[in-house]
Structure 1
Amino acid sequence: MRNTALVLFSALIVPALLADKGKNYTKENVCQELSAIGIEKFKEMVTVLYSQKFPNGTFEEVKCVADEMTKLAEKCCKDDASPDCYDKGATEISEKSCGKDSPFPKHPGIEQCCTLQGHERKLCLASLRYSADELPSLLEPTNEEICTEYTKHEKDYSVRYVYEFARRHRNIPAGFVLNATQHHVRMAERCCRPAVKIPCFLQERLQMESSNIFLRFLSNVCNNQVNLKSYKFGLSAYYGNLGLSFEEASAISSRFQSGLEKCCLQPQPECIIEELTSFQKVLCSESKLEAISEDFRKCCRKPALDTLPCVDVLKRQARQYPHVANPVSSQLCEEVQTHGIDRYLFVIGVKHASISLPVLTTVLDRIKSTVTACCSSADVTACLTEKESKLKKTTALLSKLDDTCSRYFKLDLPVFKTLIQKERGETQVQAWVHLATSCCSQRSPAQLCQKLTEDVIKYDDDTSV
């Protein structure tokens, strides 16, 4: 899928608001894409984009809006289409979106957009973003379930799979969803006729194993990038746990995050593939190989897109930095103290290797907010001194969370729950157990775990004297 796919979503919802030349350029790009991939693939791509945008919508609702957008593109890409075809069509669709009995997905915030008119309404509708917790991952169906669904919905099996897969991976490039769908549908076509063929399924699943591992990794890191405020600091600590120094970990995390920021929400897969391939070379450069473990080096011997998922599941080691500047010192904020706050957060983060990045990042963000607020105050030293107990308390909570996850991995769940109940009491046990069961694993859902961590922080604040 080429770069022209980038403009597809905004072009269909919001025609270019600038000069007529800009409108024509956008239309030309969309029409080129339609011509290049054909109407069916074009419709699938639109379905991906709207399934990701409206994960709370039903299949019928998403299909309806995708059909409307595809018809609009098809109509306005004809040689005899009027110059204002897109603008008029998008206006009609935005009005339909705001209708009382709209067949389109009911997106949170749409009521406010519908109070606007014209271009402002279309811009508002296009900017809406679903912010609720992530949907559970799409469980891999059994061979029999695949064949039953394929036989039942053979005509639209592909688009149904696109919908289900995309709404559960709403922060990865649409091209990956289409590729995964193509492989899945091919498997159903080959292995379900005339009856379920187990050897066929085994062979197909084996061929898709590597790409599925990469997709799970990509979905996780892109979800973190989109949703976590201080993801870079969590990443820096993560790479520190794998043996890199602060300087190396900081540079690596910045490079990785900038690539995700640039590419995760772009429809075409080429951008993220190029970025991650380039990043793997930096991560596995000769200068770092001496500092990293043998397991890390084994990951670096793999192909580029297999290296990063491999590194992602390596065992992390907590590290201690005994000689650290006192956080209440105003030197933390001085320009001569290069990356003072970053280093401070790194030192705190690398001490905790059992918690997931969403949990770690949420707590580090709280610490960062406190310190940066003081650095901007009139009397930095007085502010940091006043906040010292709060900083120590938050850091202590991070240690409690880390210890909780460490025990969660070692103990049976009933034993773990009993232990938490003794330590936290009835009022807090549910929050702590929910956080542990949902958020201790490395690939935890970012939005949910951010919320659960904030709940635990609130409990901790409320019980403080």
Structure 2
Amino acid sequence: MKTVTITILLLTLTTSHAMVRGRDYMKEKVCQEFNVLGKEKFRAGAIIASSRKYSNATYEEIMNVVNEILSIAEKCCPEGADPDCYENESVALSAKSCRETAPFPKHPGIAACCTEVGLERKLCLAALKHPPKEFPTYEEITDATVCEDFARDPQGFADRYLYEYSTDYSSAPLPVLAASTTSYLSMVTSCCTSAQPTMCFLKEKFSRRSAVMLTKVSNKICSHYDLLGKERTKFSYITKFAQKSTNASLDDVIALATDASEVFSRTCNSTTDDSFQRELLEHTTKICSKLSTKDQRFDGCCKDANTLRAYFCIYSLPWAKSPNLPDFQTPADEDLCKNVMFPTNGHYLFEIARRYTYAPEALFSVMFESSKNVVTSCCNDTDPKACFAVKRPQMKAQIFNLLEKGNELCSEYTHLTFLEFKKKLRETYRKALPEATEEVLSGLVEQRSTFASTCCLMNAPPIYCGLQIKTGVSQTCSSDVCLLH
């Protein structure tokens, strides 16, 4: 599987070597992998790579890309092919991609790329990537249906599966995704030709549990990392650990959050087969060594002898109950500009997160941006002290108002049944809006309950929840019926 993964990466044309050495390097490597792997494995790798890159493209668009890639390899890689074949064909493909009628995945960055020429255009087009899906659409079908579809068209079944699975888990590291899809297709081939398909599927699915778990967890982790970047991933994990274990120490939380951001920065785009899993397991061991003695829930997860299952258990832990903690000291105005990282100061964030354990992480992103903007603005002002005197109380009031409401909403969602939760929402809105019609009240209740059911969860989809909160914050509303009340 390692060679397949290398091929996938080469096809994306995103390596630094390609930028430096250009067409000869790419031709040499692509043709080497095509000749070693053979047409079918090379083609499978191209489907995975293209589906992963263009996660919002149609099946037909992906297959058009794959067929073009395969056609170039078949034409230009055999011994005795014209030395300029690869360059000429790839230039022609770039030109075709720039046509309005091109049958390839659509992307808003294509127009800018098409103003470039030569290698720059090819590399620009190759670097385009769709954002990952936050809500997967792939659904497993019954074993009997799988075998019917496989028997009808084995190649078509495999192609469609690789496309659907890879677009859904496009942020999973390529080695993880390639290994998972390969093991699935191997299972289908074996079980659909077995004398006892049902028993075969039961056995194979049991053996694939770790691969499936790793694919799903790595996809969530890496899509989150790609969205936030290294610095903000660290502060995201400070929030997560503080909200899950309010007994954890500041030093332990910051050390683990730092380790998480370092691990994922190295492994989410790794080309080494076991890099992500190996480093994730090492990270899990560190979590258990620091937090299992501080928190019974962590201890329960860490008792699992399977370290991957232990991490999945830790990752899935819900929020801890909000404790009653005393106020904590925040930096004085005169100290803020000495440390430009104050808005994301680990101590400050840790103390807030462990006091508002039910507040959605997207709210902390709002806090991050608001604090950073105020500090930057005032530190660049001619009179920082006067600026802080005006802006800091406003910022603090807005942030803690949002955190209080978010904490209250998600605490109620967590502890009440869904019907009880909606009933309480309706009562709250009826008191705040006594003249509202039942239709208006029902609309508000559905809006808030939909938000809560999606975002009042640890590891909630960050883009969706972030947009929902930003939209709500920007709306003009009374303090009684704002977004999170």
Normalised to the residue count of structure 2, the TM-score between the two structures is 0.83
Tell me which of 235, 246, 249 is aligned to 1:245.
Answer: 249
Which residue identity does 1:113 align to in structure 2? C
* Structure 2 counterpart of 1:405, one-letter code: C
| 1:377 and 1:383 in contact (8 A); partners too | no
In the other structure, the counterpart of 1:313 is 316
Which of 369, 373, 376 does residue 373 from structure 1 map onto?
376
Kindly provide the CA deviation profile for residues 183-206 of structure 1, in whole angstroms up to 9, marking residues without a partner as x: 222332333347884333222222
Q: Is the 8 A contact 1:6 1:266 kept in 2?
A: no
Q: Aligned pair 1:402/2:407, yes or no?
A: yes
Partner Cα separation in structure 1 for residue 451 and residue 178 of structure 2? 33
CA drift at 1:70: 2.7
Q: How much does 1:165 deviate?
A: 0.6
8 Å contact from structure 1 (residues 176, 269) kept in 2: yes
Paired position in structure 1 for 2:288: 284
Relative to 1, partners in 2 of residues 1:7 and 1:164: Cα closer, same or farther, differing over 3 Å?
closer
Asked if 2 retains the 8 angstrom alpha-carbon contact of 1:64 and 1:103, the reply is: yes
Task: Answer whether contact 1:6 1:267 (CA < 8 A) is retained.
Answer: no
| Deviations, residues 257-316 of structure 1 (Å, cap 9, x unaligned) | 12212221345543312321332333233x554334364364265333333212112243
Among candidates 388, 395, 399, match of residue 390 of structure 1: 395
Greater displacement, 440-449 / 414-423:
414-423
**Could you list the per-position Cα deviations for residues 122-142 of structure 1 after superposition, in whole angstroms to 9, with x for gaps in the alignment?**
233223232375342422322
Task: Give the CA deviation at 1:246.
Answer: 1.8
Specify the alignment match of 1:222 in structure 2. 222
1:224 offset after TM fit, Å? 1.0
Number of the residue aligned with 1:147: 147
Give, in whole Å, the separation in 1 of the partners of 2:340 and 2:219. 39
Q: Which stretch has the larger CA shift, 135-144 or 49-58?
A: 135-144
Q: Distance in 2 between matches of 1:13 and 1:200?
A: 41
- Quick check: 274-283 or 245-254, which moved more? 274-283
Over 3 Å counting, the alpha-carbon distance change for 1:14 and 1:282 in structure 2 is: closer
Instruction: Write out per-residue CA displacement over residues 18-71 of structure 1, whole angstroms, 9 at most, x where no aligned residue.
Output: 45xx64444433334334433322221221111122122211210110121133
2:279 to 264, 275, 279: 275
- Structure 1: gaps (5+ residues): none
CA distance in 2, matches of 1:376, 1:344: 19
Paired residues of 2:61 and 2:103 also in contact (CA < 8 A): yes
Instruction: Report the secondary structure of 2:355's partner residue.
Output: coil
Please, which moves more after superposition, 232-241 or 405-414? 405-414
Distance 1:272 1:76, change over 3 A: farther
Map 1:25-424 onto structure 2 (within 5 A): 25-131=25-131, 134-193=134-193, 197-228=197-228, 230-240=232-242, 241-242=244-245, 243-285=247-289, 288-293=291-296, 295-296=298-299, 298-299=301-302, 301-317=304-320, 318-319=322-323, 321-326=325-330, 329-335=333-339, 341-357=345-361, 359-374=362-377, 376-378=379-381, 379-387=383-391, 388-424=393-429
Which AA in structure 1 matches 2:78?
K
Q: Which has the higher contact order (CA 8 A, sep 6+)?
A: 1
Displacement of 1:173: 1.5
**For 1:303 and 1:328, how far apart are their aligned partners in 2?**
47
| Paired letter, 2:156 | D
Q: 1:157 to 1:261 in 2, by over 3 A?
A: same
The percent identity for this pair of structures is 27
Aligned residue in 2 for 1:455: 471
Name the stretch that deviates more: 211-220 or 161-170.
211-220
**CA distance in structure 1 between the aligned counterparts of 2:459 and 2:12, rounded to whole angstroms:** 31
> Do 1:360 and 1:398's aligned partners in 2 also have CA atoms closer than 8 Å?
yes
Displacement after TM superposition at 1:89 (Å): 2.2
Structure-2 separation of matches of 1:320 and 1:48: 50
Q: Distance in 2 between matches of 1:451 and 1:121?
A: 33
Offset of residue 323 of structure 1:
4.2
Q: Distance in 2 between matches of 1:262 and 1:276?
A: 11
Regions of 4+ moved over 6 Å: 12-15, 336-340
Alpha-carbon offset, residue 250 of structure 1: 1.4
Classify 1:87/1:16 alpha carbon distance in 2 versus 1 (closer, same or farther; 3 Å): farther
Q: Is the 8 A contact 1:110 1:125 kept in 2?
A: yes
Q: More deviation in 110-119 or 51-60?
A: 110-119
Alignment partners' CA distance in 1, 2:220 and 2:316:
12
SS in 1 for 2:101: coil
Asked whether the 8 Å contact 2:378–2:384 carries over to 1, the reply is yes
Separation of aligned partners in 1, 2:30 and 2:98? 25
- The separation in 2 between residues aligned to 1:121 and 1:462, in whole angstroms, is 48
* Kept in 1: contact 2:47–2:159 (CA 8 A): yes
Could you list the per-position Cα deviations for residues 339-396 of structure 1 after superposition, in whole angstroms to 9, with x for gaps in the alignment? 9822212211222333554x24433433442454256333443333322222222222
For residue 457 of structure 2, what is the aligned residue in structure 1?
441
d(CA) in 2 for partners of 1:183 and 1:204? 9
The aligned amino acid for 1:170 is S
**Distance across 1 between alignment mates of 2:43 and 2:444:** 48
Can you list the C-alpha shifts for 1:67-86, whole angstroms capped at 9, x where unaligned? 21133234443343444443
Change (3 A) 1:344 1:102: same
Tell me, which stretches of 5 or more residues in structure 2 are unaligned? 434-439, 481-485
Alpha carbons of structure 1 residues 389 and 160: separation in structure 2 relative to 1, 3 Å: same
C-alpha contact 1:13 1:90 (8 A) present in aligned 2: no
Cα contact 1:72–1:89 (8 A) shared by 2: yes
Rounded to whole Å, the distance in 1 between the matches of 2:85 and 2:16 is 12
